[in-house]
Amino acid sequence: MTLDRGEMIEQESVLGHDPSLEDQPEAAKEIAGKSPTQIALSRLRKDKVATLCIAVIVLLVLVAVLAPVITRIFGVYWNVSDPKAPNTTDVLAFDGYPKVGPPFNSFTWDHPLGVAPRLGYDNLAYLVYGLRTSLIVCVAATVISTIIGVVLGLMAGFSRGWVDRVISFITDLLLAFPFLLAMLALSPIITSRFSTDQDKLRIATITSLITILIIFGWMGLARLIRGQVLSLREREFILAAEVIGVPTRQILFKELLPNLIAPIVISISLGLPGFVAAEAGLSFLGLGISGYPSLGKMVSDAAPYYADYGLYLWLPVGAIALLTLSLNLLGDSVRDAFDPRTRR
Amino acid sequence: MRLKRSAVALATASMLVLAACGGDGDGDDKKSSDNPSVDTENLGNTGSGTDPTREGPATIEGAKEGGTVTVLSSPGLTTPIDPSDLYYTDTNAILTSLVTRQLTQYAYDQESGQMILVPDLATDLGTPNDDFTEWKFTLRDGIKWETGAPVTADEVAFGIIRSMDGKTFPNGPGLYYSNPYFLGGEDYKGPYTAPDAEQQAVTVDGNTITVKMAKPFPDFPFYASFPAIGPIPTDPAVSDPAKYAQHPLSTGPYKIEQYTIGKTLTLVRNDQWDPNTDPARTAYPDKYVFKVGLQSEQIDQILLADSGEAKTTLAYDDVLAQNYRKANETGRLVTGGQPCTYFYALDQRKVPDKSIAEALTWALPYNDQIVATGLIPDVNAVATQNLMPPGVPGREPYDPVEGHGPFQTDPEKAKQILADAGNEGYEIKFLYSTDSDVSVAGKDVLVKGLEAAGFKATPVATTLADSVSDRDDVNGDINMRSYGWCSDWPSGATWVPPIFQSTDLEEVGFGTNESAFNNPEIDQKIEDVSALPVDEQPAAWNDLEKEIMTTYLPVVPRYYGGVVQMHGSAIEGVVIDNTLGMPSFRDIWVNAG
């Protein structure tokens, strides 16, 4: 339904360029066609929630990008192995609680958000670098899984026959496969494979995390796209294209894909917060990345100290909540904007 | 011996071992201002006294009968409780204090805070022959099983013989003591594995049990306090290993009412036990309920809240560092020693010379690592010097590295030592477990400490599941191994030979000599000390340890074990059995009003 209208509007816009109409500029402006994307964007601009969410996301991205600058300004370190970082017992008392800053001491600019009990890293530094990791993981996983989902969905929907059956089978298989189990099995394998080289191990864990998230993240979109393609490919403009001998690749990407922008954008906007949460969850369980700060890891570090040191837990929880909430709300707005049935 | 708690605790121990230990300088400045005051003198004491003439009944002044004691633990009770197969600290403390009786036992001495070896089923602590190759014990009268049947000398003998069956009881202490020391123990496979073979070690004459040794075993009375050296019913239908492991018969003050491995153990009174025959057990509470598998944080919160059933509850897990201040304020916190030393063993096949170990002694960030791994300096990680913890007879404190006080970190000095020896940037390779938060934290701190001291630190990743096998792989590409060793009884013989005697690396691996220290001269000296008269041995062991440590320094001690446990407000008499690092269940009573 959605796409039918979009198609019609596109046809209209083509008609809009009819030279016969050009000598009536006023009227032409009135009925000047807009592509569905343009309509959606103009709707988004008017949406206050969406604007706010975009502002928050831009801010968080800026903080993540500028993490090295921020930590340098404050002189704080997320890695206690850093030669310049203070010794653990310089900032921690005998029972692991910080000697400086919250919860038992007054605020200090040396550690604006406090020090992690027992571990001795600076909360601000860990938070901004953790945000960085979260964003890298979620953007990488979303982009790649979207590409895979779209390509496989298009192929499955358009090809008919065995290609469709094979792709659909793989999709169903992966949907049914227990994702947590794969992570549980993979994490010790990676550790033993890269055990001697710490840098390789760090990179290996983060790439494997992203890979796992991608492997288990494209199926939803692929199914959605396949369903849309199944209905679109019987439509006249596709049949016409086939008849006049347009190459399949061109049909897929030039004819079909533009009609699928809406579901893809919606899937991206809802996928991002999902991956942020997945990364945090896996790191909380100790299956995520090692050697990089992670918000999920910070939550699991902070949980035992909640009673006395609430701030420590609220920092990563707040960051994850802010990121996922703004991404989710933005996703909702994007869906509303792209859905022609919604009226404002 | 190994830290004998449970598999989970063992893993914990190996994690802890990755972290170094903390503390401060020497002497009076030992306690930094914010450190709690803990009696570190007695903390590590592991008991050395004996009292062969003590008689029952044991009583505590003012103690009341009755009540149910609930005992909580996070890991634990996952290991076998068949007496012959029992070799973990928690089950050992529970069974020997409450359920099973053996030839000897420990009693807590209020004055010294130490455990004293006293008789149990035997009338005294045994009579050796001149060269300690034969021990005679006389069984007391009036000892009964929970069924009411009398305990016979034949049943005690059968228990001792049964401990030699290493194949049926692979977890038990028999493999380390019964088979190597008992006459014919190396060849005799035990009553289940070799039912037709004849054993030569144990003979019975009336009420007297004689154990013959293949080599001198002066410490046998200490070994006789293990559940393995107690009676087992001779009726094969009763003592069948598979069945008996579910419900060992009681000879002590309590019997097993219900037992679910890894979950609960309920003990109720055994009315066949006669307090007059027992020099150490008091048995005031009516019932004990052990519950395991709770989260550590949950246990702490239950005990801190101290309401309802929690009042009569105690835990034998250490209180978490973050709850220590609050727990200490309640006045319901008990600290005690554990006869364990945690150390780094440097692979002597790879390390060029002693300067590495000396520099490492100065470089280790003792306090940082203790705090980062969730321990509390000078409470459950006590400052070290010697390998042997305080309380081992003959131990004299000395500094393995000249001028180095316990828990002293000085990267500049370490750098200087490395530079003088031409070993700047020497690469230290050590294991850590990526899936253990504690292990990773300890690694981070250690890397910083080593780098600051001019070493090159190369952590090698492993996982908890593989950490022990990776550490014990003799061909592994690491040169520093973290290890913890706990003695089974206070004697230099349980320290120097297991840690420093050479092993056949090809055939048996490190054994317990994790530094791969192989020195024929020292091996000979170990043999010589073992052959010395018993009263000269304690000092000789200490001298030998000092000689090895000052000449070769194969291991760098980090800290001694300690325990810090909380109990409810109605529980009285909680003291730490510092031979095990467990509460002394013999002395506990419930103060209902």
Decide if A185 touches B, using CB distance below 8 A: no
Question: Residue B67: pLDDT above 60?
Answer: yes
> What is the value of pTM for the model shown?
0.83
CB atoms within 10 A of CB B26: 16
Q: What is the mean pLDDT of residues A101-128?
A: 91
User: CB of B495 within 8 A of CB of B545?
Assistant: yes
Q: In angstroms, what separates the C-alpha of A119 from chain B's closest C-alpha?
A: 5
Res. A209: pLDDT tops 80: yes
Q: How far apart are CA B382 and CA A344, in angstroms?
A: 70
Q: Phi and psi (nearest 5°) for B526?
A: -60, -45
pLDDT of the residue at A318 = 94
Check pLDDT > 70 for residue B24: no
The pLDDT score that the predictor gives to residue B227 is 94
Per mean pLDDT, which range of A112-116, A250-254, B3-7, B415-419 is the poorest?
Answer: B3-7
Within an 8 Å CB–CB cutoff, is residue A99 touching chain B?
yes
A-to-B residue pairs, Cβ atoms closer than 8 angstroms = 112
Q: How far apart are CA B210 and CA B188, in angstroms?
A: 17
- Residue A12 pLDDT more than 70? no
Q: Which residues contact A284 (CB under 8 A, 6 or more apart)?
A: A296, A297, A299, A300
Give the Cα separation of B371 and A98 in Å (integer): 11
* Percent of chain B residues past pLDDT 70, beyond the cut: 92
Distance from CA of A77 to the nearest CA of B (A): 13
User: pLDDT category, A185, cuts 50, 70, 90?
Assistant: confident
Q: Pick the residue with more confidence: A242 or B38?
A: A242
Chain A window 282-341: which residues touch B at a Cβ cutoff of 8 Å? Answer: 286-287, 290, 300-301, 304-305, 308
How does the average pLDDT of chain B come out, rounded?
87
Structure tokens that stand for A332 in this block: 């909702």
Quickly count: other Cβ atoms within 10 Å of residue B37's Cβ.
8
CB contact under 8 A, A89 and B22: yes
Residues in contact with B158: Cβ distance below 8 Å, sequence separation at least 6, in sequence order: B191, B231, B232, B233, B234, B239
Burial code (b: 16+ CB inside 10 Å, e: under 16) for A66-91 equals ebeebbeebebbbbbbeeebbbbbeb
* Percent over 90 (pLDDT), chain A: 42
CA distances from B221 to B118, B126, B269 (A): 9, 7, 28
Q: What are the pLDDT digits (tens) for A269-317?
A: 888 888 988 888 888 887 777 788 989 889 988 988 988 899 999 999 9
A64 in contact with B at a CB cutoff of 8 Å? no
Q: For residue range B174-220, what is the model confidence (pLDDT) as tens digits?
A: 988 999 899 999 899 999 999 999 999 999 999 999 999 998 898 89
Output the pLDDT for position A29. Answer: 57
Tell me which chain A residue has its CA closest to the CA of residue B375: A95
Q: Please give the single-letter amino acid code of residue A29.
A: K
Of B358 and A24, the one with more pLDDT? B358
Asked if the Cβ–Cβ distance from B445 to A80 is below 8 Å, we say yes
Which pLDDT band holds residue A183 (cuts at 50, 70, 90)?
A: confident
The neighbour count for residue B509, using CB atoms within 10 Å, is: 16
Q: How far A90 CA lies from chain B's nearest CA (Å)? A: 9
More confident residue, A284 or B97: B97
Q: Are residues A192 and B463, on separate chains, in Cβ contact within 8 Å?
A: yes
pLDDT band at B109 (very low <50, low <70, confident <90, very high): confident
Per mean pLDDT, which range of A106-115, A194-203, A289-298, B59-68 is the poorest? A194-203
Nearest CB to B322; choose among A79, A97, A195: A97
| Cβ contacts of A287 on chain B, cutoff 8 Å | 435
Beta-carbon contacts of residue B180 (< 8 Å; ≥ 6 apart): B186, B214, B215
Q: What residues of A are in contact with residue B22 (Cβ under 8 Å)?
A: 89, 94
Do B577 and B584 touch, CB atoms closer than 8 A? yes
More confident residue, A258 or B267: B267
Share of chain B above pLDDT 90, in %: 66
**Alpha-carbon distance B241 to B212, whole Å?**
25
Average pLDDT (B376-388) is 91
For residue B55, the 8-state DSSP code is: -
- CB neighbours of residue B453 within 10 Å: 25
Q: Which tokens sit at B485? A: 């060793």
Q: Is the pLDDT of residue B30 over 50?
A: no
Residue A200 contacts B, CB cutoff 8 Å: no
Q: What is the DSSP string of A255-317?
A: IIGGGGHHHHHHHHHHHHHHHHHHHHHHHHTT-S-SSS--HHHHHHHHGGGTTT-HHHHHHHH
Matching residue, tokens 């069956």: B165
Cβ neighbours, 10 Å, residue B1: 18
- B46-50, B551-555, B585-589: lowest mean pLDDT where? B46-50
Q: Is residue A70's pLDDT more than 80?
A: yes
Nearest by CB to A191, which of B297, B371, B463?
Answer: B463
* Tokens found for residue B492: 């230099």
Q: Which of A210-219, B32-41, B234-243, B370-379 has the lowest mean pLDDT?
A: B32-41
Query: Does the beta-carbon distance from B462 to A80 stay under 8 Å?
Result: no
B-chain CB neighbours of A301 within 8 Å are: 437
Query: Which pLDDT score is estimated for B542?
Result: 94
* Rounded-to-integer distance, Cα B374 and Cα B380, Å: 10
How large is the average pLDDT for residues B525-549? 91
Q: Which of A184, A333, A215, A318 is nearest to A265 (CA)?
A: A333
pLDDT score of B3: 55
Q: Which residues of A touch B320 (CB under 8 A)?
A: 304
In the predicted model, is pLDDT for residue A21 greater than 60?
Answer: no
Determine the residue among B369, B440, B444 to mutate to test chain A binding: the one whose Cβ has the most chain A Cβ atoms within 10 Å: B444
What ipTM does the predicted assembly reach?
0.78
Answer yes or no: do A80 and B376 touch at CB < 8 A: no
The CATH architecture assigned to B338-562 reads Roll (3.10)
Distance from CA of A292 to the nearest CA of B (A): 12
Of A88, A195, A196, the CB nearest to B371: A88
Q: Give the span between the Cα atoms of B374 and B318, in whole angstroms.
A: 10
d(CA B89, CA B86): 9
| Option in A80, A290, A304 nearest B434 (CB) | A290
Q: Do the chains contact at A96 and B371, CB–CB below 8 Å?
A: yes
DSSP SS3 for B35 = coil
Where do the domains of chain B lie? 338-562
Percent of residues, chain A, with pLDDT higher than 70: 90
Query: Tens digit of pLDDT for each residue in B115-129?
Result: 889 999 999 999 999
